[in-house]
Chains A and B, each alone.
Chain A
Amino acid sequence: MIAQRVQLVVLAVAAIVVVAYLYLRLGDKAIQALPQAWGRRLTPYLFTGPAIVVLGMALVIPAGMTIVLSFFSADSSHFVGLDNYVATLSDAVTRIALRNTVLWVLLLPTGAVLVGLTIAVLTDRLRYGALIKAALFLPIAISAVAAGVIWTFMYDYQPAGAAQTGTLNALITTIPGVAPHAWIVDETTNNYALIASTLWTQAGFAMVIFAAALRSIPDELYEAARLDGASEWNVFRHITLPLLGPTVLVVATTMTIVALKAFDMIYVMTNGQYGTDVLSTVMYRFLFTAKDNGTAGAVATILMIAVIPVMIFNLRQYRRDSVESRDA
């Protein structure tokens, strides 16, 4: 069984290499045979062709299909116009999900920038900084579902008086007069609790980006500032922060996308109960339990439209950065 699979894998890898080689080799030959003007024009397409095909099949066509399906009925049999959109947007659950998605988009990027930047700056010149960074970075290697289970334990609730098995409640009940709190059931805290646990898995990523960016700030700038008698706060405020500006944007936009995609933690910890639904959990439920392709497609399309501005902003930023670095 295993031997068979290994054989299959080796065969597949070999086939891919051979096909790729033949494609480039023969394609190149074919282009060379053409008049030079044509060859120049076609060469870029030869190299990007495979990527475009893969991208088209895995991304463009499914996205297009989703949009098309969102205008059709639950079983995709007949056209219903904008009915699915009207139905989702007038649904109380979807409205809660929209509210929560906004909450996620506001809080997760803010939190990730604050925590990531703070830790990165504070540990930058520490001898054991690397250790702290490693500890904060570790959660990123944990799958979201496992992290969800871990945080379910962290937020675990036992009635007042009983032994608190949840770490957070065990901590707060050591303060006299403080009662345990049902973090993920109580509607005043559950969304924040979910965002905080996602932040735990993402803050390490933000921190690493910030730490790398800090290293790229020339030491001379700091030296000059200190020689001029600038306080540490002023150095941070007027040198570090402005130079980290583009990095803050990168982290913030990446985290915005993470927030819009948030699903697995919520699915594991509350499954959208008690007012914790976000758009992706609503979409999942329409697709897999209600088997309603139309409405699920509509929610997916709404989510896609919400991501577009962030993506455009991100791309612009990226283009500007690459233009700057080329000019430099």
Chain B
Amino acid sequence: MNIGRAGIATAAACLLAISACSSGTQPTEAISAPQAAIDAAKASALEVAGGKEIGGKVTMLGVLGGPELDAFNAVLAPFEEATGIDVQYEGTRDFAAILQTRVNGGNPPDMVSTPAIGEVSALAAKGDLENLRDVIGDDVLNANFSKSLLDTGSLNGELFGIFDQVNLGGLVWYDPKTYKGPTNPASWDELQQWARSEESAGTSPWCVGLESGAASGWPAADFIDEILLRQAGPEFHERWRNGQEPWTSQDVKTAFETYGATVAGKMAYGGTTTVLSTNFAKAANPMFTSPPGCYLNQQATFMGGIIMDSFPDLKAGTDLDFFPVPDFNPQFPGIRSISGEIIGVLTTTPQSAALAKYFATPEAATLIAATGRWLSPNTNVKPDAYADPFLKKASQVLADAKATQPLGNSLMAQTEVDAFWKAALDYTKNPDQLDAILANVESAK
């Protein structure tokens, strides 16, 4: 799950409203990259297009809109300028339905860009997607992407998608001025020990908010997903997300209970009723009251921007900072979870092939980093490509990771994801009914 998925759900609500939630698409100054970086991107765009302006157009279906789309267009601009190819990006919140309709109707877009990896994987299983190993080439892919990311976009040995942007999950956001606990805890237990002592001293350590409209519950589901990955290990996690391990297994139960310990009793600000009633974007707000209502908020990279939007006076680093969630199990150290958007090709034309290759270049990835919105999955992006201090730090965490794995719920079918979100809410509300709740998800699978 990432914020894009949450957006899909909220915007689905927009579709029902009489007034359409429109989003402007004027490309603006959405990027803070030095001219040299833009020129380099143009040069490599020309190179992947075979050294000449080939012109024509490529259609792309995605989910972005508003300022996010502006940022994405800014990454595309050097490509369009250098190659003369017109990239026609169609952003929709109803991605899966529109893609399905267009594929069935014999009018598929040339390319897709989406966080719903599970949906694209289902299309790939039907043979609707091109193998990017043929389009881009193994050398380029292996030189720019980690094996685990390529594996995530693969099905039966064929690469159906490469990540163009990622969010790093499992960060603990805190206010350095008020938080007195460990900022580099060796283990989850050490952090929770501090949290429990804080709870018995009378202040709730954790700031948690699970409300997110029709997608409510995803923040807890993402955290449980992350805990499972790092507690039971990547191999179990992979079997679990592929449906080979039941939801009722002991490891999944332990992951739920580990999350549960952060919201039980007075561990979370206001207790479970507040946790369930609070929107995820406002979860960290009590951190900045005087005295603070809570100290720690577990969330992905994008939370920094959300908090800074609510409190524009904060200074990154001195008033707000993060550390990665420590290891849950010494057997599986240094594992990080990511979610993100992948690019896939449905129809190979010289134009779509050039654009796919462009996204695999470090130069395009550098521009993704320069938008200040996303981390780049490209291993050749230099840390100084990030203008945003939080992203720069997060890119370092990602670079230091022993292994990176996608969150399971970005790969599952939507029915199972919905059941997962609901289970996260139900468990938060009724922790004593975990067995029944997990049996429910298992039957929805």
- Which residues of A line the B interface, CB within 8 A? 143-146, 148, 156-159, 162, 182, 184-186, 264, 267-268, 270-271, 273-274, 285, 288-290
Contacts and interface: CB of A to CB of B under 8 A. Distances in A.
A159 B425 contact: no
Interface string B401-438: 00000000000001100100010010001000000000
Contact of A273 (B18, B286, B293, B422): B422
B442 to A, nearest CB: 14
A145 B13 CA distance: 7
A267 B425 contact: no
B184 interface: no
28 contacts: A143-B18, A144-B16, A145-B13, A145-B16, A148-B13, A159-B269, A159-B270, A159-B273, A159-B274, A182-B273, A182-B274, A182-B276, A182-B277, A184-B277, A185-B273, A185-B276, A185-B277, A185-B429, A264-B13, A264-B16, A267-B214, A270-B216, A271-B215, A271-B216, A274-B429, A285-B418, A288-B97, A289-B415
A157 B274 contact: yes
B271 A159 contact: yes
Of B14, B16, B293, most buried by chain A (CB within 10 Å of CB) is: B16
B270 A158 contact: yes
B423 to A, nearest CB: 11
Given A273-B422, A274-B429, A162 B276 contact: no
B201 interface: no
Contacts of B289: 162
**By DSSP majority rule, is chain B's interface helix, strand, loop, or mixed?**
helix
Interface size grouping (class) on chain B? 20 to 34
Contacts of A182: 273-274, 276-277
A274 B424 CA distance: 12
Given A145-B17, A268-B214, A271-B215, 7 more contacts: A143-B18, A162-B286, A182-B276, A182-B277, A186-B273, A264-B13, A289-B415
B213 interface: yes
Interface in B264-288: 269-271, 273-274, 276-277, 286
A290 B415 contact: yes
B19 interface: yes
Most buried by B among A143, A148, A157: A157
Contact of A157 (B17, B273, B414): B273
A124 B430 CA distance: 50
A289 B277 contact: no
Interface string B190-204: 000000000000000
